[in-house]
Amino acid sequence: MGKPEFDLCVIGGGAAGLVAAAGGATLGAKVALVEKHRLGGDCLYYGCVPSKSLLHAAKIAHTVRNAHRFGVECSPPVAHLGEAMRHVQDVIKGIEPNDSPERFRSLGVEVIFGAGQFISPCAFQVQGRTLTARNFVLATGSRPNVPSLPGLENIPYLTNETVFSLQGPAPSLIVLGAGPIGVEMAQAFARLGTRVFLVQRGAHILSNEDHDLAQVVAESLRKDGVELHTGCTPQRVESDSGGIRLHLRTVAGDAKIVTATHILVANGRKVNVDNLGLESAGVRLENGRLVTDRRLRTTNKRIYACGDVVGSYQFTHMAEHHAGVVLRNTLFHLPARIEQRVVPWCTFTDPELARVGISETEAKQQGIEHRVYTFPFHDIDRARTEDETHGFAKIITAPNGRLLGAALAGAHAGELIHECALALSKNMKAADLSKVIHVYPTLAQINRRVADQRLKEGLTPGAKKWIKRIFRLRG
């Protein structure tokens, strides 16, 4: 075979693919970017951007509704879902130029639209053209996982790919699944005037988080009027002039029926690996997922994967991290590996729930010797001034005080978690957080205050007795 046409051929124009393509071209590589639909991917059109825009609109309605608590009298807000969705679309349109084909072509990337597939381990065919490259990058993303629920195929159900296109009102909504997408949408719609039923098979919402932290979000959802149906297994769904009826079975075996005008499926994500000719490329799958190593190489060492299609940590910030790892491996031939220990994330409800490192539950399950310390937002002065006192911070440490994990359920948790992420990445101890001067009054003080609990634990009556004796204190 002759010399490859490109240094890098990126397949998929979502967050991971765009960062890989732009980064490669900026570094001097000849790059092809293949996308079958439009650049921007899930994050721009169906994920982070629209969901956070809708959540912001919902929070404004909530703030106005509760303005009287601060001595400000307002008329009760009237939320128009269609107008809120138009705001969401306006935000998307404002960001679109950053992900436009014109911008990427100006960077030197050859943008090719069309659905293609591998025809050999070193060639990808699209629109009748055969692309060859030194390395390929699979960045095809993920899509909503639609459960095999009897009757669902006959219902005009919503997913994150269609919910932001709603034009008219949604009087009532069933949300199937109480992961991050489910709880965010449940709260947003409830605050915008929709009656919401949140259905979760497990015993509590946000099942990947510690129960005490998830409970903070659950309490807020209930205050917003969301009806939680946890421990309920969907049996079938049907529709008639009266609406959509979801039949449930509780853990105790009892039958329940929930009725609404709309239903949103939020049962996780499914990776996009179909119809890519992976067999021809020598790329192996296990249980429908790509087999990759920590360098993000597939079983064909010339083909890498990054972003949601990898299957773990399906966040935009991890997609960007993956793209950087792939570029270091493919262009610079460095043995770069993905970060697995310090990966922060946040569920953007109100209050937010953010975490980095291992949780208390994971530490117990893995038999890791640990200590747990907490501190409430209620005792942070800035939280009191803004009436954002719901929730708490938690750190998990080794017996010697080294940080193993941290989590916050409270106001601006997604911003506050980064101090703990940095401390974890540098293998710091709780004492290191305690020593840092934090501006007063700020919410960030909670990171120092929760770390202080570790120091106070060592101040036992016996220790205080020796301190008084050694330093001749008279208190």
pLDDT per position as a tens digit, 6-15? 999 999 999 9
**Binning pLDDT at 50, 70 and 90, where does residue 1 land?**
low
Angle value at C-alpha 357, between 353 and 359, nearest 5 degrees: 65
pLDDT at 464 over 80: no
Residue spans of alpha helices (H) in 268-380: 278-281, 316-330, 360-365
Q: What is the per-residue pLDDT for 181?
A: 97
Maximum distance among all Cα pairs of the chain, rounded to whole angstroms: 88
| Distinct helix (H) and strand (E) counts, the chain | 15, 23
| C-beta of residue 237 within 8 angstroms of C-beta of residue 155 | yes
Answer whether the bond into residue 351 is a cis peptide, omega within 30°.
yes
Cα separation, 314 vs 291, whole angstroms: 16
State which CATH number among 3.90.1300.10, 3.40.1280.10, 3.30.390.30, 3.20.20.70 fits the domain covering 345-461: 3.30.390.30
**Rounded CA separation 294/19 (Å):** 19
Q: Give the pLDDT band (50/70/90) at residue 455.
A: confident
CB 294 within 8 A of CB 337: yes
Quick one: tokens of 377?
């937002």
286-328 per-position pLDDT tens digit: 999 999 999 999 999 999 999 999 998 999 999 999 999 999 9
- 304 Rama sector, left if φ>0, alpha if ψ -120 to 50, beta otherwise: beta
| Mean pLDDT value across residues 30-46 | 95
Q: Residue 462's pLDDT is what?
A: 72
pLDDT 10s digits, 225-248: 999 999 999 999 999 887 999 999
Peptide bond preceding 144 in cis form (omega within 30 of 0): no
pLDDT at 48 over 60: yes
In whole angstroms, give the CA distance from residue 398 to residue 370. 5
**Can you give the residue ranges of every domain in the chain?**
6-39+100-144+270-330, 152-268, 345-461
Query: What tokens appear for 98 in the block?
Result: 């950053």
Residues 170 and 162: their CA atoms lie apart, in Å, by: 13
Question: For the chain, what is the mean pLDDT?
Answer: 95
The two structure tokens encoding residue 453? 């609990």
Beta strands 129-138 and 6-11, pairing class: parallel
Tell me the backbone φ, ψ of residue 377, rounded to 5 degrees.
Answer: -65, -25
Strands 232-240 and 289-290: unpaired
Distance CA 306, CA 454 (A): 39
Q: How far apart are CA 60 and CA 44, in angstroms?
A: 22
Q: Residue 258 corresponds to which tokens in the numbers above?
A: 């929930």
The pLDDT-based confidence of 460 (bands split at 50, 70, 90) is low
CB 454 within 8 A of CB 371: yes
Strand residues in 192-324 grouped as ranges (E) = 195-200, 227-230, 232-240, 243-250, 255-260, 262-265, 269-271, 285-286, 289-290, 303-305
Fold of 6-39+100-144+270-330: FAD/NAD(P)-binding domain (3.50.50)
User: Which one-letter DSSP state was computed for residue 334?
Assistant: -
Name the CA dihedral angle for 102, 107, 108, 110, rounded to a multiple of 10 degrees. -40
Region 43-59: what's the mean pLDDT? 96
Residue 465 has pLDDT above 80, yes or no: no
Q: Residue 190: which H helix or E strand, with range?
A: helix 180-191
User: What is the C-alpha separation between 28 and 262, in angstroms, rounded?
Assistant: 50
The residue assigned the tokens 């409800």 is: 349
Cα–Cα distance measured from residue 135 to residue 296, given in angstroms and rounded to the nearest whole number:
12
The tokens describing 461, both together, are 């009556």
Domain 152-268 has what CATH class?
alpha beta
419's tokens: 């101090």
Query: Phi first, then psi: what are they for 97, rounded to 5°?
Result: -55, -30
Phi, then psi, of 19 in degrees rounded to 5? -65, -40
Helix-strand-coil percent breakdown of the chain, rounded to 5? 35, 25, 40
The predicted pLDDT at position 240 comes to: 83
Paired tokens of 267: 């049962």
- 365 pLDDT above the threshold of 70: yes
CA atoms within 13 A on the CB side of 427: 1
Among 260, 193, 208, residue whose Cα is nearest residue 229: 260
pLDDT one-digit tens code per residue, 212-226: 999 999 999 999 999
Domains 6-39+100-144+270-330 and 152-268 share a fold: yes
pLDDT at 346 > cutoff 70: yes
The average pLDDT across 127-149 equals 96
The whole-number average pLDDT for the span 48-61 is 96
Residue 410, strand partner residues: 352
